[in-house]
Structure 1
């Protein structure tokens, strides 16, 4: 008990002296410095009498060490040697110094935060490493401020600018006590890394390559890259399953780590192998990269040049849903489209699919509407055409009937007139023949008696003369007279028969001409009549107009010609004069 050096500490300082190696004496209710432990780090809590003694010991350490080397027992206790080192370090670094380092490992215990720090050159060679501690009295405030400013936990892979005081303890060795962190340095380092990747890709003209690919018109096949047990993968896969169930879109999954050394290269390899092994006839519509959220530290592994370039050179659009709403990673910047979470990615895919479904439905409805309208219009046109054809057919029938009746009436009148004229002509010819025959018969009859009288007279004279001359000439004269008489009768009868035959032939020829004319007229029809240069005039109701009396001024008429119909309005209607008729 007498070898113990007790400290005067407050309750708030207990953790600090404990970290320096002090021990608690429950009986005395005080903290003390064990024997052999250097007292220099505890000067602020030493009693007044012990401070000077300790200082003397410290100032004479080197002298004592030199003298003791000459004694038979060579060397000094390790605790004394290290105590001297601790004194020298405490004198050299009485206050913290701002230094930069990379966190290699981090852990916590009882509110304290323990770190392993290192420094490497550009080639990755280790230049320095050290242990550091943030005591609980500073840890809560420093870490909360750091996370608020950077959004990241103080964890492996983070580069930091810290204010640390070097401390050397004989029983714990060298460490750094951290009492300050500058978050702006970490933010600058993270952003600088992303900026370097961004500028390099822009110089290589790759930065906008994937973003400028045409957006998929629809999603039918998608390749998904994610950690195998990612928190957001379950929600994504559940919604994706609905699309697969209905045959809308097929999803193929490949898995990769998203944190730690080599994670970026593993993601790029998973993407490449997924495309190479794609079973479809063509590439997928898009690649989806998702994970279930994470801190800035977790996302920092995705700020990798090779991974970003792989996304830029991907032949299909890449969609990201890393699960961090505030900060973008390098692959978010170069992807075709960035979503905050995996759920929003699948929602975006469903939105596009639903839009296509709505468009297809609207298109089908438009086609059906147009088809219905076309059918309705066609039916209406067919009905109107049918009605028009029926009306026109009726009009044509009425017109044809009227025209036929008119033509037949005209033909009948013409035939009747022709027959009448033929009959008249025949009668006249027959009458003339009969009259002529009668006249000839009458003339013959008149001539016969006269001739007979003359003959008789001549005969008497001849007879007288014959009687006078020769009695034998009388029979000859009588015979000649009889022959002349017979010849006269024969001539008269022949003339009458010939006249009757000629009359009969004339009547037959007239009848044949009438019948031929009738057949010709009946065989012509309206169209042949029109083609011969005639026209048919009808009223608006389709009735044939054959007289001027049927037409008034201003009456609308239709003139049927050989090749069409001319509509007109009658003007200056006047009847034909008697001479013209």
Structure 2
């Protein structure tokens, strides 16, 4: 008769110790249990009053023997175990330790679907992001209802990066190794993990003091230039593009698009880079707002947008950010931190149209008000102008009359004063003319005497200079005659000629050339040898 099942109170950190001693996991009760007569190895995990001593402790011999008739060779066998025996021993151990499915936490690293079967590569990361464990799991086509129920309960498609709590049955094959048959998925765990991730991001941004930075930025009163970040070639953005293109054609608003990935591990850094490009554009060409839009998709697709670095970039963006991501019930961390959230891309387009329409209405109202104020002001100015014109006309008539009288009086006074001044100036001019005439006569007489004296002195100096010049010329003529060719030849010098040309330097006569030397009593012909 099999021993009664006894449930244990095993803390999570001690589960591996309990498992090694033979404890098993009950997925329905979500508790560890043991079926053995000797409960002494499990004493510390027993509920109070449930422990009954047993004489035999658990030892390594409790490991199950392999099935299929294979024998475990003893340690005395010098050749040890064959590989097949060893693998069968592992198989038997796995089957003995895990006779029932167990719940395992894991993250999907890769997914492959073939002929209705789901093949998952499962991993676990440590705090640094390094993979510390990995294995493969299979959800067979016959259990496809597990996937359908998971979709219905979570709204999430299985995708890389999602964490799951899986009910698995370990299977060990001597040839293919350890595999996990996936029998169930705990939807609540996945939803809780996604919510926990959102909470961690939210708490981090709040602790850094950036959570509300973008949300506090006011939206512009009008849109003239918008930067749009959207998925590459997204057909679901047709309604938005239709409205945006119409506004662009009419010259009402400009749109600069940055298309990038919105799902997969590469999506967050790609969107961060697109935001940086939009901010750089704003520094050169001012942008009113940054719009992040994405059409409808599964919750798993939107899961990639719940990224801490991406959310931080949106928080710190100097432009007000407007989001239109997914459908109306969808929510991402980007929607929380953005200055304005719209449920869908179409609602973003509606916001843009409404804002521009309101701006136009405000402008028209302002123009009407300005026009009315201007008309009232013009009427007041016109009335004031008529009063001022009448007053100016009256004052001008009086002033002109007074000025005319003053001018006539001034004219008579000026004419009288001018006559007296002209008479005095005429007398002064006559006196000055007589003085100039007398001074001119005296100056002319003095100049005539001076000229005669200078002329006499010039004559004497000229005669002296002429005599000196004659003497100097006679002396120079004697020197020239003394330096003539005949005189030079008489002193023993010769004149070298080449034809009719007199030579003064040896460079003028090349080697082998003929030349003649003129002397006092004749010529000598010669030739240069070197």
Q: Would you say same fold, with TM above 0.5?
A: yes
Counterpart position of 1:177:
181
Using the TM superposition, give the Cα deviation of residue 321 of structure 1 relative to its aligned residue in structure 2, in angstroms.
1.2
C-alpha separation in 2, matches of 1:92 and 1:270: 52
1:215-258 CA deviation, whole Å, 9 max, x = no partner?
A: 21110110111222223334322211111111111111112222
Counterpart position of 2:127:
122
C-alpha separation in 2, matches of 1:81 and 1:280: 70
Using the TM superposition, give the Cα deviation of residue 310 of structure 1 relative to its aligned residue in structure 2, in angstroms.
0.8
Q: What is the number of equivalent residue pairs in this alignment?
A: 323
C-alpha separation in 2, matches of 1:157 and 1:294: 17
Counterpart position of 1:244:
248
C-alpha separation in 1, matches of 2:136 and 2:120: 6
- Conservation of the 8 A alpha-carbon contact between 2:124 and 2:134: yes
- For residues 210 and 279 of structure 1, do their structure 2 counterparts lie closer, same or farther at Cα, with a shift above 3 Å needed? closer
1:220-231 equivalence runs, <5 A: 220-231=224-235
- Conservation of the 8 A alpha-carbon contact between 2:278 and 2:290: no
Counterpart position of 1:109:
114
1:286 aligns with 2:301: no
1:533-555 CA deviation, whole Å, 9 max, x = no partner?
A: xxxxxxxxxxxxxxxxxxxxxxx
| Aligned partner (choices 304, 311, 324) of residue 327 of structure 2 | 324
- Local SS of the residue matching 1:277: helix
Counterpart position of 1:305:
308
- Conservation of the 8 A alpha-carbon contact between 2:139 and 2:183: yes
- For residues 169 and 236 of structure 1, do their structure 2 counterparts lie closer, same or farther at Cα, with a shift above 3 Å needed? same
- For residues 77 and 212 of structure 1, do their structure 2 counterparts lie closer, same or farther at Cα, with a shift above 3 Å needed? closer
- Which structure has the highest helix share of the two? 1
| Runs of at least 5 residues in structure 2 that lack an aligned partner in the other structure | 1-63, 391-530
1:24-103 equivalence runs, <5 A: 58=67, 60-63=69-72, 65=73, 76=82, 78=84, 81-103=86-108
1:168 aligns with 2:172: yes
Counterpart position of 1:268:
272
Using the TM superposition, give the Cα deviation of residue 163 of structure 1 relative to its aligned residue in structure 2, in angstroms.
1.0
- Conservation of the 8 A alpha-carbon contact between 2:293 and 2:344: yes
Please say which structure displays the higher CA radius of gyration. 1
1:137-216 equivalence runs, <5 A: 137-140=142-145, 142-216=146-220
Using the TM superposition, give the Cα deviation of residue 293 of structure 1 relative to its aligned residue in structure 2, in angstroms.
2.4
C-alpha separation in 1, matches of 2:297 and 2:256: 24
- Conservation of the 8 A alpha-carbon contact between 2:294 and 2:324: yes
1:92-115 CA deviation, whole Å, 9 max, x = no partner?
A: 211111110001112222332221
- Local SS of the residue matching 1:132: strand
1:253-402 equivalence runs, <5 A: 253-278=257-282, 281=285, 283-368=286-371
- For residues 171 and 325 of structure 1, do their structure 2 counterparts lie closer, same or farther at Cα, with a shift above 3 Å needed? farther
RMSD of equivalent CA atoms: 3.1
C-alpha separation in 1, matches of 2:76 and 2:127: 48
Using the TM superposition, give the Cα deviation of residue 302 of structure 1 relative to its aligned residue in structure 2, in angstroms.
1.2
Using the TM superposition, give the Cα deviation of residue 135 of structure 1 relative to its aligned residue in structure 2, in angstroms.
2.0
C-alpha separation in 1, matches of 2:142 and 2:123: 24
- For residues 323 and 168 of structure 1, do their structure 2 counterparts lie closer, same or farther at Cα, with a shift above 3 Å needed? same
Using the TM superposition, give the Cα deviation of residue 370 of structure 1 relative to its aligned residue in structure 2, in angstroms.
6.1
- Conservation of the 8 A alpha-carbon contact between 1:131 and 1:176: yes
Q: Tell me the TM-score normalized by structure 2.
A: 0.56
